[in-house]
Structure 1
Amino acid sequence: MAVANAIDAAKQWDPDLVEANYIKALSNNLSIIRLRFGDASKPLFKNREFIVYERRETMDDGTLVVAVASLPKEIAAGLQPKRSNSIRGLLLQSGWVVEKLEDDSCLVTYVVQLDPAGWLPKCFVNRLNTKLVMIIDNLKKLAQACR
């Protein structure tokens, strides 16, 4: 099963995604997206938003490469002003590679380099580290369901 886009994919494996929308499609495989995570009702937590580009490329051997990174602050601010109830974080060079293996399985490499910006409680940072493992497990379950 091919996931239609980054927003559909993120909604399937990340329950903290509160809101997502496309700002602009630059080509068939390059889009600018706004992602907002968190829940303002949680104590000591302020929502984080990211203005990112998503580029998808399928290689000749069928390998899917999806690169996601924040736009520079000045460009992001020009496309989508920062909302007052959010902190704008930076998603550095991130994304995933899905390689088809010979035994009808695949190898997924998932990389996230994140600067959430602003202060975060230590307990939340620890939870975020654990959450990354759960995201990988959700990706595995999603892939197995698509066989």
Structure 2
Amino acid sequence: MTNFHFIEQQWDPDLVEAKYIKDLEDNLSIIRLRFGDSSKPLFRNREFIVYERRETMEDGTLVVAVASLPKEIAAGLHPKQNNAIRGLLLQSGWVVEKLEDDSCLVTYVVQLDPAGWLPKCFVNRLNTKLVMIIENLRKLAQACPIEGDT
């Protein structure tokens, strides 16, 4: 499987900006994710400073782990914007496993603390939105070349 940066792909329509702050290693990067004007009204102006680790296992399984950096480290790398609320992305990521029939199984996990108050009905709508994000990931996976394909 191709080892590519997931944030370079537009998989979430509410994501306004995904900016690499620093590459620490070939497979480890620090990223700022920003949700803004195009986001749902109550989720506007949220930002997350996260690390993204990408690892391809011996069997070809791609694992992408994403989580927020501790507040102190994040503040030192990228000061919080005045008009933004800094949320926390906890133990999140993707596992893409190649199956025998030239298809793949994608497991997507997200644990999120958006910080600040959000009404329960809005949180429930975010949960249903995950279905659309998974569909976007499916389309991206179909468009990606599998290692060894020509």
State the secondary structure of the residue aligned to 1:93. Answer: strand
Determine the C-alpha separation between the residues in 1 that align with 2:31 and 2:112: 16
State the secondary structure of the residue aligned to 2:130. Answer: helix
Contact between 1:46 and 1:85, CA under 8 Å: does it hold in 2? no
User: Does residue 59 of the first structure (1) align with residue 57 of the second (2)?
Assistant: yes
State the secondary structure of the residue aligned to 1:61. Answer: coil
- Structure 1: 5+ residue runs without aligned partners? none
Contact between 1:36 and 1:49, CA under 8 Å: does it hold in 2? yes
Q: CA RMSD in A?
A: 2.0
Contact between 2:47 and 2:86, CA under 8 Å: does it hold in 1? yes
User: 1:22 matched to which residue of 2?
Assistant: 20
Question: Match for 2:71: what amino acid?
Answer: K
User: 1:7 matched to which residue of 2?
Assistant: 7
Q: CA deviation at 1:38?
A: 3.2
1:13-55 CA distance string (max 9 Å, x none): 1010111111111010000000001327864444110000000
1:52–1:2 distance in 2 versus 1, CA, 3 Å: same
Q: Percent identity, aligned pairs only?
A: 85
Contact between 2:90 and 2:112, CA under 8 Å: does it hold in 1? yes
Contact between 1:63 and 1:98, CA under 8 Å: does it hold in 2? yes
Number of aligned positions between the proteins: 145
List 4+ stretches of structure 1 deviating above 4 A.
40-45
1:36-88 CA distance string (max 9 Å, x none): 01327864444110000000001111110110000000100111100011100
1:118-141 CA distance string (max 9 Å, x none): 011333212211110111112222
- Structure 2: 5+ residue runs without aligned partners? 146-150
Contact between 1:90 and 1:114, CA under 8 Å: does it hold in 2? yes
Contact between 1:55 and 1:66, CA under 8 Å: does it hold in 2? yes
Determine the C-alpha separation between the residues in 1 that align with 2:35 and 2:79: 17
Contact between 1:40 and 1:47, CA under 8 Å: does it hold in 2? no
TM value normalised by structure 2: 0.87
Within 5 Å, which residues of 2 pair with 1:1-147?
2=2, 4-9=4-9, 11=10, 13-39=11-37, 43-146=41-144
1:89-124 CA distance string (max 9 Å, x none): 000011011111111111111100100000113332
TM value normalised by structure 1: 0.89
User: 2:148 matched to which residue of 1?
Assistant: none
